[in-house]
Amino acid sequence: MLAYFRPLFEMALLILGEWWFQVRFKEDRSKFNRYIIQITSVGREVERVNEIINEIRSYPMSMAYQIWVVIEPGYSVAYPNADRVIVVPREFVAKSQYKCRAIEYTRTLRREIGWTGYDTKITFLDDDTSPTWEFLETAYAGDYDICQGLTAPRFKYGSGSLTHFLLSHIDDLRFHNCMTYCSSFQGVFNAPLFVHGEGLTITGSTENQVGWNFRIFASEDLTFGCNAAHQGLRWGWFHEYIELTSPWTWGAYFKQRRRWMWGNIHAIVNRDVLPLGPAIRVGIRYLLSLFTFAGSGVAFVLTLLGKIHIEHAWFSLFWCSLAIWVLNFGMSGWVNAGRRETDQTSLSFWTSRITQMICAVVLCPFSASFTVIALITTLYMGNPRAFEVIGKTQKTADIEVYTAASGMEAVSQ
């Protein structure tokens, strides 16, 4: 029964988070006078990163800002519209590895120039994420030590190959999880369950206090966010979109999920990475996911076999719960298909949006099941012990997936 009620419970969280944002989210631009938008990348996605930079440059931004691009040595530094292109030196030593190490390096740069106060805002982007103008404005103005917006796999959502179409819809749950758990656990309870690096926005003082020097190879976002909350810093969540791309191949999908899974496990089991409270919280979230899948599956079979007989009122409530679950997927499809390309006609846009929404609903049993299958599969695949990077565009997805082999390399998620 508990498993069946989860959609209702999640809907309550979602509404609470959204309501809290609408009623209580604080913005105070007067407290900030410096804004850094930092794109951290291995360096392979030059074209995509330049696209993101140009996109941001096209926005009528209301504040002074700088775009920093952080890459590994040995890659092109051709980012003509970036304010700074930072190559992480090979000799830079930190406890953290890969992407986290790169961010830690940029922290030292900011410290050297004294940008460590509350008046400095930093938004971290990946090389596959497009923030909307509204996102950047709200992130800058948010009067919080740390905040983030709403992730949605809107970039090339459901387009291209069948594989990318399916993987986009599997990612419907990412939007749903962010809308449900990030909005409430970050925005309301100040106790994050998920943290995503895409669009994570912090102040200079927060960065200086928490730092990025953790003994981790992945999940730097979760680690940073949970430690910030644990140290009493204030979390905020806002409903503006950071648009990302779903993986383009099944291999890339499993590599990405494996990295997340084992990065999170590493964080959960190591007290020098995650404090006990957040570790328990995040651990329970994983167990709950498995329980919901197993519990509802078993109950479904037992009901079919007539082993459990449910009273009508409960049965009606389960129908409501199921309807809400399906509605959630429909909402994900609707929002995720909401990015309008510049050359897209109205007819094409709305046709695509309605089609993708219907697909999200039709595919919801597959999407939900596959997420759990991926969870179990990545557990079985074992710890990668490295930050495996996947191609972020259709073009780079065809190139062999890159695995960072050296702790000296900074890579992006």
* Token pair belonging to 144: 């919080």
Residue 141 C-beta: closest distance to another protein, Å: 6
Residue 303 C-beta: closest distance to another protein, Å: 8
* DSSP annotation of 183: I
Torsion angle of alpha carbons 107, 110, 115, 120, nearest 10°? Answer: -60
Q: Given the complex with another protein, which of 26 and 395 has the nearer CB atom?
A: 26
* Token pair belonging to 328: 């959630």
- Of 118, 300, 350, 366, the residue at the interface with another protein (CB under 8 A) is 118
Residue 340 C-beta: closest distance to another protein, Å: 19
Structural element, H or E, at residue 239: strand 235-243
Residue 207 C-beta: closest distance to another protein, Å: 16
Residue 356 C-beta: closest distance to another protein, Å: 24
Nearest to 121, CA basis, from 102, 132, 135: 135
C-alpha span between 345 and 390 (Å, rounded): 32
Structural element, H or E, at residue 262: helix 250-269
- Is residue 62 involved in binding another protein (CB under 8 A)? yes
Phi-psi region of 102 (alpha: psi -120 to 50; beta: other; left: phi over 0): alpha
Residue 292 C-beta: closest distance to another protein, Å: 20
Residue 60 C-beta: closest distance to another protein, Å: 12
- Is residue 64 involved in binding another protein (CB under 8 A)? no
Q: Show contacts with another protein in window 276-335 (CB under 8 A).
A: 304-307, 309, 311-313, 316-317, 319-320
276 CB-near residues (< 8 Å, 6+ apart): none
For 122-145, give one letter per residue: b (16+ CB within 10 A) or e: bbbbbbbbbbbeebbbbbbbbbbb
Nearest to 411, CA basis, from 193, 96, 112: 96
- Of 3, 4, 7, 25, the residue at the interface with another protein (CB under 8 A) is 25
C-alpha span between 39 and 223 (Å, rounded): 19
As to burial, measured by CB atoms within 10 angstroms (0-12 exposed, 13-18 middle, 19+ buried), residue 180 is: buried
Q: Given the complex with another protein, which of 271 and 307 has the nearer CB atom?
A: 307
Stretch that binds another protein, among 12-20, 88-96, 210-218, 351-359 (CB under 8 A): 12-20
- Of 22, 54, 76, 351, the residue at the interface with another protein (CB under 8 A) is 22
Structural element, H or E, at residue 132: none
Q: Show contacts with another protein in window 122-181 (CB under 8 A).
A: 134, 137-138, 141, 143
Show the beta-strand stretches assigned E in 58-136: 66-71, 84-87, 120-126, 130-131
- Of 5, 9, 19, 75, the residue at the interface with another protein (CB under 8 A) is 19
- Is residue 27 involved in binding another protein (CB under 8 A)? yes
Q: Measure the CA angle with vertex 67, ends 239 and 390; round to 5°.
A: 75
Q: Is the dihedral of CA 88, 91, 97, 98 positive or negative?
A: positive
Q: Given the complex with another protein, which of 118 and 366 has the nearer CB atom?
A: 118
- Is residue 111 involved in binding another protein (CB under 8 A)? no
Residue 324 C-beta: closest distance to another protein, Å: 9
- Is residue 29 involved in binding another protein (CB under 8 A)? yes
Nearest to 174, CA basis, from 336, 3, 330, 355: 336
Q: Show contacts with another protein in window 193-232 (CB under 8 A).
A: none
Determine the straight-line distance between the first and last CA of the chain, rounded to whole angstroms: 37
Stretch that binds another protein, among 25-33, 67-75, 375-383, 402-410 (CB under 8 A): 25-33
Q: Given the complex with another protein, which of 97 and 321 has the nearer CB atom?
A: 321
Q: Show contacts with another protein in window 365-394 (CB under 8 A).
A: none
With CB under 8 A as the rule, give the number of residues binding another protein.
Answer: 33
Residue 134 C-beta: closest distance to another protein, Å: 7
Q: Given the complex with another protein, which of 18 and 126 has the nearer CB atom?
A: 18
Taking residues 230 to 269 in sequence order and writing x for each that binds another protein by CB under 8 A, - otherwise, the string is ----x-----------------------------------
Q: Given the complex with another protein, which of 11 and 375 has the nearer CB atom?
A: 11
Q: List residues near another protein by CB under 8 A.
A: 15, 18-19, 21-29, 31, 62, 118, 134, 137-138, 141, 143, 234, 304-307, 309, 311-313, 316-317, 319-320
